[in-house]
Chains A and B, each alone.
Chain A
């Protein structure tokens, strides 16, 4: 170890910065290889398709509360809306926005890189994603409409004529779209992983990375290992549907006609699907965990409590999430002994998750909490996530799950834990990083309106749903009709939920308006409006130019959470500020 003044540390090599100056408008804004532009492209596409899914949920809710009010919704359409709503929200919105959007924007900036390591593949990744979205949307215009198989696409029903799109284009377009999405995601995912491994600035050890990067990094590794399961399942189902093989298709009589299939195993599909499907929950949750840690620390002006534990928890959750998939299959008729195993692993996963929640709360404890919009959303996330997580403990137990399976309780659970909770983080993150992306602040008043309606409104929607589930109201029913076991009060509650859903949906228009309005009229933000420590706030320009750092790459001297350091002049010290007294230790690698 050598003690030398910090000034003499040679900064990392100066690359050919000229490389980062695209010359035409097309290469700068459309076919851009700049991760920041790609991030915006991903985000805009994901939010746009997400709005489609939001409207679909409105239509479903209207049908549930006022059956027959909209004459064009018949049973087939209802199932198509359910399917597309679920698939879009989980994959094309949440996955794409967290990894493609936030991953692209934040990873290079937060680790002090100029860009992703493979910018060209990164650009391709976006265009392939866009293609996947277009194929998905094409389903709406195809003969027979999109598939109505439910987002899990369980065979054999998904490829039979009783299901909308089963014998038409719908299921084919859905499977193709997923296959294309996975190819595109793999290109992006390789980028995120290798950039974190190789692109970090000098001094940025793994344990100095902001938790956002840890979350996105771990989620990407998981996605790279989990998406192949969906890929294989889609290819095999494509074979069954188009070429007549029997991977998943048992012997079956359809419309009085014996089909050529025989012997296939629908359970095999469920295993493959949920081997992807469960990690997918954490692929969405881990980036949210990471981001929310940074939001809380920054806006409570306090270092994150238990940083090491937070990192370990992320990694352990990531690992455990691969051995819990069959808890989605308790009622599939699989070996009951498996149920015991998977219930145990499911409950174990609650331990690292609970550690994270405690650490967030302990970070807030005696912090200097600023109730800014990002902080409000972060707080809302914690509460929502705890609620959704607790019902997860219910459903993780076989004996509790079996009666609750296929009821509204399940719908309430997963919407709380992986619908509303990550979306709240996305909103918080957008309010937090929008000033960096555009150079302007989002409007505070509009933001407050958006926050309170969204937060309270989603509770009004999903809390009563738990109760409906306990009453035994089934999910996936197009119309309750005069069912003996559903009391009239359930109908009243359904109307309430629908009205709230319409209000919450409409509140998102305020948000979208705010995004556009602030782009032109927002208050100038300056380089570091939140007085945050992480590297993305220390760029020479705001918004950062292509290449991010001007001539010299930053050197990192400290971890990401030096807030309210005793004796420091300011209540935050950015990561690239050398130790006080100018003494820097160099440690061998």
Chain B
């Protein structure tokens, strides 16, 4: 009896160890600072509590110790290998000395932000037959004493911030039908919101909110309206059932309006004649009521998408002076190559202005009242036709987020110009969990504009004047999320030469650069400890930066080797 009891105890212990995440002894388990509504509404300058640092999506740190005058002294303080390959895109999120970083495969690392020592690590065992079209993860959400991560197998997981133990794990949808999650959850007033990806697999995407404490689903709003819902009549037949409209990136939040704003993806499959109609709410921004999930407003950047122009990013919330008044703006550098200024209001979203920030050959006009574009049909992909369009599939700006610096008044846009795509539309039948692109895939090509000497551009725009202030050009494609700081700097990687750079936020001059292990497609963040400012970023090339590289290499007959493997880098001023 005694020995049986011992065995049972042993078995129980073994089981517990086997089921727990790999928890290493805490290096400095300082008391964790609970994340509250007040803290998220007004994040302390020394912390980085969410995907873009604040609810407005600025990508701005008020810290000003590192300046154009001293940034040349920036040196690595510590690094940490994540142990996985593919696209490392998440920002290091920091709460009073504890850093949370996600990697592909929905791994979460909790680190001592000062030393890089591992506090705990959550490793998710993925289904062995999972398909990962976008092997990445874009970060955690924080609330109270928990950390939230959306997973590539379409779960939402709550972890204990102090231990990494799973508090709850909810199925958001069925990965076998093509659903997955890439974004960092948005947490507002105890609701954890996620959107689903899978547009290339013919899902019908949605945004859903879960109770932060219990994981109970509170509401679910599809980005493709169903029968009886407003906007459903913008679809024909059954196309809405497989209409795509992914939600790739974390939403932003306006506490005055109690609305969250989300960018939405393209309609599926790619050519527009395969889903006739405007296809609401594809390639749009939608405003969702936090309490109910109801859509309170929308603006569709372009109707009946045919170019794979997901309007991935959520617009930045900022005040813009136009015509003698202050506009509560939504600023969106679009994948369609236009820079959009919209107005957020209690009764919806209004159009103000749009102008191209890269060479765009598809739109022939923009309605000055509604913002609705007209198209050149020669550049609109359709079934059975070979069509070329510029910018190409990856658009003027893809997922890497732009940033806004309230001191310079500039919006910094990571753009790609001078690239074009050629598609041949081809009808295909839908099969759950399979690619659903509607094209003759092997005939898809990328080309570069003749005589072009650059593709990537970091552009700085003054939204009050509507004018571009400066541009820094890169020879090849540029996939660098942008951080800007109170010290007057802009930080970004994104190029295939593995560089991470600092620019003068006012002039665009490159002031510092550092060669990392891989291509830097991570969202940079900044934090401070004991009065010292740090810059943190992940380096780890993959996903669309790698895909575009492959297309460029095919076009040019070159072979570019950008090494993979994730590393977290933390920099500070040297002595």
Chain A complexes with chain B: no
**Which residues of A line the B interface, CB within 8 A?**
none
**Which residues of B line the A interface, CB within 8 A?**
none
